[in-house]
Amino acid sequence: MDKVRLQREAAFIRSSLLDQGYLDEQFIQLEELQDNDNPNFVEEVVTLFYTDSARLIYNIDQALLSNPTDFTKLDDYMHQFKGSCSSIGAKKVKNECNGFGEYCEAQNYDGCFRTFQQIKQEYINLKKKLETYFQPSYDHIYAYYLISPYDLMR
Amino acid sequence: MGMAAAAATESQQFHVLAVDDSLIDRKLIERLLRTSSYQVTTVDSGTKALEFLGLRENDDGTPNTPSISPNNHQEVEVNMVITDYCMPGMTGYDLLKKIKESSSLRNIPVVIMSSENVPSRISRCLEEGAEEFFLKPVRLSDLNRLKPHIMKRSKLKDQDQKQVIPEKIDTLLEVQKQHQPQEEAQPQVQPNLEQQQQQQSLQQNNNNNNNSSNKRKSMEQSLSPETTDRTRPRYSGIATVV
Query: CA-nearest residue of chain A to B235?
Result: A25
Q: Which of A1, A12, A39, A46 is nearest to A137 (CA)?
A: A1
Query: CA-nearest residue of chain B to A79?
Result: B115
What is the pLDDT, as a whole number, of residue B68? 42
Cβ neighbors of B93 (< 8 A, separation 6 or more) are B85, B112, B124, B125, B128
Banded model confidence at residue B123, pLDDT cuts 50, 70, 90: very high
Q: Is A54 on the interface with B (CB under 8 A)?
A: no
| Residues A80 and A56: beta-carbon distance below 8 Å | yes
Cβ separation of B242 and A86 shorter than 8 Å? Answer: no
Is the pLDDT reported for residue A77 higher than 80? yes
Chain A CB contacts of B237 below 8 Å: 15, 18-19
Q: Which of B117, B118, B112 is nearest to B99 (CA)?
A: B112
Between A102 and B149, where is the model more confident?
A: A102
A136 cis-preceded (ω within 30 degrees of 0):
no
Chain A CB contacts of B234 below 8 Å: 25
Is the pLDDT reported for residue B50 higher than 70? yes
**ipTM score here?**
0.88
Between B199 and B114, where is the model more confident?
A: B114
Is the pLDDT reported for residue B148 higher than 80? no
Query: What is the model's pTM?
Result: 0.69
Highest-confidence segment of A16-30, B44-58, B64-78, B209-223: A16-30
Cβ neighbors of A76 (< 8 A, separation 6 or more) are none
Which of A3-17, B91-105, B195-209 shows the lowest mean pLDDT across its residues?
A: B195-209
Chain A CB contacts of B242 below 8 Å: 25, 29
Query: CA-nearest residue of chain A to B115?
Result: A83
Distance between B9 CA and the closest CA of chain A, angstroms:
20
Banded model confidence at residue A137, pLDDT cuts 50, 70, 90: confident
**3-state SS class at B61:** coil
| Residues B137 and A45: beta-carbon distance below 8 Å | no
Is the pLDDT reported for residue B22 higher than 80? yes
Distance between A108 CA and the closest CA of chain B, angstroms:
23
Q: Is A49 on the interface with B (CB under 8 A)?
A: yes
Cβ separation of A48 and B86 shorter than 8 Å? Answer: no
Helix (H) or strand (E) run with residue B27 in it: helix B23-35
Q: Is A52 on the interface with B (CB under 8 A)?
A: yes
What is the pLDDT, as a whole number, of residue B177? 59
Cβ separation of A84 and B22 shorter than 8 Å? Answer: yes
How many pairs of residues across A and B have Cβ atoms under 8 Å apart?
62
Q: Is A79 on the interface with B (CB under 8 A)?
A: yes
Q: What percent of chain A has pLDDT over 90?
A: 77
What is the pLDDT, as a whole number, of residue B185? 45
Per residue in A90-124, pLDDT (tens digit) is 999 999 999 999 999 999 999 999 999 999 999 99
Highest-confidence segment of A144-153, B33-42, B68-77, B210-219: B33-42
Q: What average pLDDT does the segment A67-87 reach?
A: 96
Q: What percent of chain B has pLDDT over 70?
A: 48
Picking from B137, B241, B242, the nearest residue to A86 by CB comes out as: B137
Q: What average pLDDT does the segment B88-109 reach?
A: 95
What is the pLDDT, as a whole number, of residue A118? 97
Mean pLDDT of chain B: 70
How many residues make up chain B in this entry?
242
Cβ separation of A41 and B232 shorter than 8 Å? Answer: no
CA–CA separation, A16 and A64 (whole Å):
34
Chain B CB contacts of A45 below 8 Å: 24, 27-28
Chain A CB contacts of B86 below 8 Å: 79
Q: What percent of chain A has pLDDT over 70?
A: 88
Q: What average pLDDT does the segment B60-69 reach?
A: 44
What is the pLDDT, as a whole number, of residue A9? 86
Q: Which of A51, A50, A99, A58 is nearest to A77 (CA)?
A: A58
Per residue in B175-232, pLDDT (tens digit) is 555 655 444 444 444 444 444 444 444 444 444 444 444 444 444 444 444 444 444 4
Chain B CB contacts of A92 below 8 Å: none
How many residues make up chain A in this entry?
154
Gyration radius (Cα) of chain A, Å:
17
What is the pLDDT, as a whole number, of residue A3? 81
